[in-house]
Structure 1
């Protein structure tokens, strides 16, 4: 069925309606600020610069463990489970691994004696994609756009290998949080 031409709004009228319903001028929609931040972040990563990003949202949360021998064994277990472990950053200065896990994992994370899961409002600095060796934080397992580390299998792997020292006290002191 076709609507008669005289009852259809013109394109100018439709545009005016959209402008009026968008709200105050110069006030971007709340989700647009988030989108702009994500785009800036992705451009910086693509330009091979270290990039500070907010955890949570639609990107990822992070599980933090020690980066000792036991944690490296957990990476090997995740290699088997995932057919190649998802992204892991090693921070040699703090002696930590940052496991990138699906967004909202921190809300579902069951307390673990050897790991802490953080999401929003915390941030993390991602090393440039070409940094794969110390001395600064680097990609122990490079980031692949198609995968993150699954929380359930990671939790189990960490329970099995028990990486020490646990990061809880150091994180609490550094971030001023209760872990």
Structure 2
């Protein structure tokens, strides 16, 4: 799932950290989040099949098959380049239901839809 990064998105990450703590997961992080500072995007790793159930949303775009994602190296925890804002762990992904609620609450923008669609169309042609 792709959202804008920035101050509002940092609020979403903080709240998702709280969701994971309440679920009894690690006290230090929500599910994995990649930051692309060049595009000002956050890429949230959500459970497989989420894109098939995801209702269109003003602040997020959920892509599934046939799209692919190149992950940054596991040790890349800061810029330059794309990095892990919250690191990948084998035991969790970002839960989409609370993520959707917090996106509505914090409204990170600008919405990535047009840029994502343009990049997808460029790779198809």
Secondary structure at the aligned position of 1:139 is classed as strand
* Runs of 4+ that moved beyond 2 A: none
Unpaired segments ≥5 residues, structure 1: 1-62
State how 1:37-116 maps to structure 2 within 5 Å: 63-83=1-21, 84-116=29-61
Residue 74 of structure 2 corresponds to 129
Residue 119 of structure 1 corresponds to 64
Using CA pairs below 8 Å that are at least 6 residues apart, which structure has the higher relative contact order? 2
Secondary structure at the aligned position of 2:13 is classed as helix
Larger Rg: 1
Q: Distance in 2 between matches of 1:114 and 1:106?
A: 15
Report Cα offsets for 1:106-126 as digits up to 9, x if no partner.
000011100000011001110
Aligned length: 115
Q: Distance in 2 between matches of 1:153 and 1:110?
A: 14
Report Cα offsets for 1:120-139 as digits up to 9, x if no partner.
10011100100001111000
Higher-strand-fraction structure: 1
